[in-house]
Amino acid sequence: MASRRTPTKAQLRRQRMGELVTYPLDWLEERSGLVGGIRYFLFRKVPADVNWMQTLGSAALTAFIVQAITGVILAMYYQPTPSGAYPSIVNITNHLTLGWLVRGMHRWGASVFIILLFLHMGRVFLFGAYKYPRELNWIVGVLILVLGMLEGFTGYLLPWDQTAYWATVVGINLNGTAPFLGPFLAQFLRGGQEIGAATLTRFYSMHMLLIPGGIIALIGLHLYLVVRLGVTSPPWSPEAAGREAADEEPQPLRPGLTRPVPRGIAAAQSEPRGSE
Amino acid sequence: MEPHEPAPDADQPDAPHEEADLPGPSLWPLGFAIGIVVILVGLIINPLVISTIGAVIAIVCGALWARDATAELRGKPVVVDPERRELGPAAEGETPPAGQQAAAPPAAEESFPRDRFLEGATIGLGALIGGIVTVPIVGFAVAPSFLGQKGHRVDLGPISTFPEGDWYIATFVTDPAEADVSNRTAFIRNNGIYQNEPSFTIISNRCAHLGCPVQANGPTGSILGKKTIQEHTASGPVTLVPVVPAGFGCPCHGGQYDTEGNHTAGPPVRALDRWSFEINHGRLILLSLYSVSHVDGTGAQALIHKYKLAGPGEHVDGPEQWFYPLQPPHS
C-alpha cells in the first residue's frame, strides 16, 4: 500500500516496462478475444496426477508440425517428374546446403510420427481414456493414424528409386486384390494401367495437399474434443475418472490482463461467459 | 382454432408487442421492384412501349402495396400466418385454465414461415451449387485413370534373332513417350514351327502375387557362351539376354514358377501372365497381356488356360474369381 502511494523510480520504470508488454496484448484482446482464447486453450485445469505419458499426444503433434514444415521446404527443391524426381533428390541430399539434414528430418520424422501415434494410442488404451465420453476422439485418432500411414505410403514413392518404385507396385497391387472394387482402386491410384508419370504426380499431390489437409482438419477436431472433454486422470488416480475437469467451468477471464478496465466494461464482458 | 386468431400466449408480455406495429407481409414490393426494372430496361430498349409497361406494373403494384400496408389503419383484418415459437419458461410454469389446453402451441396448424423458407433456400441452393461444382472436379480426378487407355505394339526385331529352343530375357519399352518408366521384361522362347506357323512362349516377368519382377532361376549372359543382343527397333531399344532357366522365382515374397509359368510354390494365385503376339514381315510384335490360370503341356503343344488380363493377386479361376467380377477398362 505504502509503495503504491509513493512508488520509487525503479518501480515506476518496471511498471512502465510491464505496460509496454501488456499494452499490445490488451489491444489485441479487446478487439479479438484471441489472448483469452489462447489462454483458455493452453491454461486448462488438468487432474493433479497427470503422467508424463500424457505428453505423447503433444509429441505426435510436434512431429506432425516438423513433417509439415520440412515437407514444405523440400517441395521447393523437389521435382515430381519421372526424369527429374531422383536427380532432384540427389541434389537435395548431396549438393544443397543443409538439404541432407532437412530431408533426413522428413524421412526419419515420418517414422517418428507413426511411432508416436502408436505410443499415444497405447497410452490412451491402457489409461482407458477412450471410454465415455471420449469415444469420438478415439475414432478421430484412428482416422488420423490411417491418414498418417497413407502419408507414409504416398511419400515412399517420391524418391523414385528402385525401392520406391517396387514398394509402390506391391502396395498398389495389394489394394488391387480387395474384392470387387480393388482393381478400380488400384487403377485410380496408378492414374492409369501402369505406374508412370501420372502416378508420381498424383502421389505427390496427395502426399503434400490432400492428405495433410485431412490430417490438419482431424487434428483440429481432436484438439477441440480434448479441450471440451478435459484430460483423464491415470487409472491409479484416487479421483473418479477425471470428470471434474470436464464439468468445471473454465475460469472466467478478466478482460484486461493487467490494465485496470472500467467497471462497466468489465462487467459487460464477463457476464456472458459466466452465464454459459 | 381460427387461423387468424392471435397465438394463445398473446397475453404474455414479450410476444405480441413487437409485431403489433409492423405491417403484414406483402409480395407487392417485389412486383413494384420488377416494374422499376422494366422501366429502366425500357429506357435503353424501347422507352415508349416497354417503359410504359414497366410504369403500369410499378403503379399497379405500388398501389396494391400501399393498400396492403395501410390495411390496418383502415381497419381491415390483416391476414397473417401466426409465427410459431417456443413457450418461454414463464408460460410453462403457468397452470392452464381448466377445460382449455392453453399450453399447447399452435403446432397443428400448417405454417411455413419466412425464416424456414430462407433456411431451406440457403441450404438447398448451397447444395445445388456444391453439387454442380463437385461433379466435374471428381470426374477429372477419377475418369482420366480409366478412359482413353492406349495399348502399344512392341517390335522385338526379326524372329531370326531367336534360335529355336533358346530362352531370352527381353527388356523393352512399351511406351516411348514414358521412356524408362515403361521398361518391361519378358521371357521368350522360340518353340519352332508348329502347324506351319512360328510358335513362341512369351511370359511376362510380373509376379502373379503382387507384381514384383520375377527372375529366371538359372545362368544368364556370357557364361553360356552366347552374346547379349542389343537392338534398336521402331519401339525403342530392345535388349535380349540369353538364359537357361530351371524356372522363375520372385525375390519379393518367394513365389516360384516352372518354365511354362505355372505356379509351383509360394503365394501367387495363378500362372504368370503372357503376351499375345503376331509375326509381321518376319518381325516379332508384342500385342497385349493376358492372364493364365495354368498351362498343360509345354512349348508349342502347351494348352494355355487363358483369361482376360487381371491384376496381380487376383484369381481368374476357382470360386475366388467371383471377388473380381469387373475389371477396369484396359487397352
pLDDT of residue B1 exceeding 90: no
Determine contact: B149 vs chain A, CB below 8 A: yes
How far apart are the C-alpha atoms of A142 and A145, rounded to whole Å?
Answer: 5
pLDDT of residue A21 exceeding 60: yes
- Predicted confidence at residue B86, as pLDDT, reads 63
Task: Specify the number of domains making up chain B.
Answer: 1
Residue of B nearest to A178 (CA): B323
User: Is residue B79 very low, low, confident or very high in pLDDT (cuts 50, 70, 90)?
Assistant: low
Determine contact: B251 vs chain A, CB below 8 A: no
Is residue B102 within 8 Å of residue B96, measured between CB atoms? yes
Nearest to B311 by CA among B178, B207, B186: B207
Residue of B nearest to A189 (CA): B145
pLDDT in tens, A168-227: 999 999 999 999 999 999 999 999 988 999 999 999 999 999 999 999 999 999 999 999
Task: From residue B192, give the alpha-carbon distance in Å to each of B155, B196, B272, B290, B303.
Answer: 19, 10, 22, 22, 16
- Does residue B110 belong to any structural domain of this protein? no
> Any idea which of A80-84, A103-107, B100-104, B121-125 has the lowest mean pLDDT?
B100-104
Minimal CA separation from B80 to chain A, in Å: 35
pLDDT of residue A262 exceeding 70: no
- Predicted confidence at residue B157, as pLDDT, reads 92
- How many residues does the structure list for chain B? 331
- Could you tell me which residue, B130 or B221, shows the higher pLDDT? B130
Cell of A186: 488400384
Contacts of B167 (CB under 8 A, 6+ apart): B187, B188, B189, B216, B242, B243, B244, B245, B259
Q: The domain containing residue B241 runs over which residues?
A: 154-314
Query: B279: helix, coil or strand?
Result: strand
B3-17 average pLDDT score = 47
Minimal CA separation from B60 to chain A, in Å: 50
Is residue B272 within 8 Å of residue B214, measured between CB atoms? yes
What is the percent of chain A where pLDDT is above 90? 68
B99-115 average pLDDT score = 61
Cell of B268: 501367387
A122-130 average pLDDT score = 93
pLDDT of residue A233 exceeding 90: no
Phi-psi group of B236: left, alpha or beta (phi > 0 → left; psi -120 to 50 → alpha; rest → beta): left
> Any idea which of B45-49, B51-55, B282-286 has the lowest mean pLDDT?
B45-49
* DSSP-assigned letter for residue B171: E
User: Is residue A235 very low, low, confident or very high in pLDDT (cuts 50, 70, 90)?
Assistant: confident
User: Is residue B169 very low, low, confident or very high in pLDDT (cuts 50, 70, 90)?
Assistant: very high
**Which of chain A's residues have a Cβ under 8 Å away from the Cβ of B147?**
none
* DSSP-assigned letter for residue A130: T
- Predicted confidence at residue A102, as pLDDT, reads 97
ipTM of the complex: 0.74
How far apart are the C-alpha atoms of A16 and A7, rounded to whole Å?
Answer: 12
- Could you tell me which residue, B67 or A98, shows the higher pLDDT? A98
The radius of gyration of chain B's CA atoms, rounded to the nearest angstrom, is 41
- Does residue B106 belong to any structural domain of this protein? no
Determine contact: B182 vs chain A, CB below 8 A: yes
Answer yes or no: CATH 1.20.810.10 is held by domain A52-232: yes
- Does residue B204 belong to any structural domain of this protein? yes
- Could you tell me which residue, B77 or A252, shows the higher pLDDT? B77
- Could you tell me which residue, B108 or A235, shows the higher pLDDT? A235
**Which of chain A's residues have a Cβ under 8 Å away from the Cβ of B142?**
188
- Predicted confidence at residue B46, as pLDDT, reads 84
Residue of B nearest to A197 (CA): B178
pLDDT of residue A35 exceeding 80: yes
Query: B16: helix, coil or strand?
Result: coil
CATH number assigned to the domain comprising residue B204? 2.102.10.10
- Does residue B273 belong to any structural domain of this protein? yes
pLDDT of residue B107 exceeding 70: no
pLDDT of residue A149 exceeding 90: yes
Mean pLDDT of chain B: 84
**Which of chain B's residues have a Cβ under 8 Å away from the Cβ of A180?**
323-326
Nearest to B147 by CA among B158, B137, B139: B139
pLDDT in tens, B220-242: 988 888 889 999 998 899 999 99
DSSP string across B90-113: HHHHSPPPTTS-TTS-STTS----
B289-315 average pLDDT score = 93
A132-151 average pLDDT score = 96
- Predicted confidence at residue B16, as pLDDT, reads 47
Nearest to A196 among B182, B313, B330 (CB): B182
Contacts of B225 (CB under 8 A, 6+ apart): none
Using DSSP, how many helices (H) and how many strands (E) does chain A show?
Answer: 13, 0
